[in-house]
Chain A
Amino acid sequence: MTTTTKVFEYTPGANLPPGDDPLHGELMTLNMGPQHPATHGVLRIVVTLDGERIVAIDPVVGYLHRGKEKSCETLGWHKFFPHTDRLDYVQPLMNNIGYALAIEKLAGIEVPPRAQVVRVLLMELSRVMAHLIYVASQSIDLGAVALFFYAFRQRELAYDIVDAYTGHRMNNTYVRIGGVYADVDEQVSAMAARFVEEFPLALDEFEKLLTRNRIWCDRNRDIGVIPRELAIAMSLTGPALRGSGVEWDLRRAMPYSGYESYDFDVPVGSVGDCYDRYLVRMQEMRESIKIVRQALERLQTVKGDVLAEDRRFVLPPKDKVHGSMEELIFQFKVVTDLRLPRGEAYHGIESSKGELGFFIASDGTAKPLRCHVRAPGLMNIQALPRMAEGRLFSDMVSLIGSMDFVMGEVDR
Chain B
Amino acid sequence: MPDTAATANAPTVEDALALGLTREEYDLACRFQGGPPNQVELAMYSLLWSEHCAYKHSKKLLKTLPTEGPHVVMGPGENAGAVDVGGGLVCAFKVESHNHPSAVEPFQGAATGVGGILRDIFAIGARPIAVLDSLRFGEPAQGDDRGERFRGRVGQTKESGPGLGGGVEAGEEDPKRGDAARAYARARYLLDGAVRGIAHYGNSIGVPTVGGEVYFEEPYTHNCLVNAMALGLAPRERLIRSAAAGPGNVVVLFGASTGRDGIGGASVLASAELDAGGDDAKRPTVQVGDPFEESKLLECSLELLDRGLIVSLQDLGAAGLTSSAAEMASGGGVGIDLDVALVPLREPNMAPFEIMVSESQERMLCVVEPGRLDAVLALCAKWEIGGSAIGTVTDSGRIRVFDGSELVGDMPVAALVDECPLYDLSPARPSEPIYPAPVATLARDAPARETLLALLSSPNIASRRPLFEHYDAIVQSRTVRRPEETDAAVLAIGRGSDASPAGEEEAGPAGGVRARANADAADRDVVGGPVPALAVSIDCNGRRVAADPYNGTVEAVLECAANLACVGAEPLGTTNNLNFGNPEKPHIAWQLTESVRGLGDACRALGAPIVGGNVSLYNETPSGPIYPTPVIGMVGSLPDARHAGRLGFARPGDTIALVGPFAPSLDASELSKLWGCALPEGLPAIDVAAVRSAQFAVRGAVRVGGLSSAHDIAEGGLAIALTECCLASGLGADVRLDALAGAGGDGDGDLFRVLFGEGPGGFLVSGIATGVRALGRRTQVRVIGTVGGEGLRIAAGGVNLSATLSELADAHTSLRELFP
A and B are partners in one complex rather than unrelated chains: no
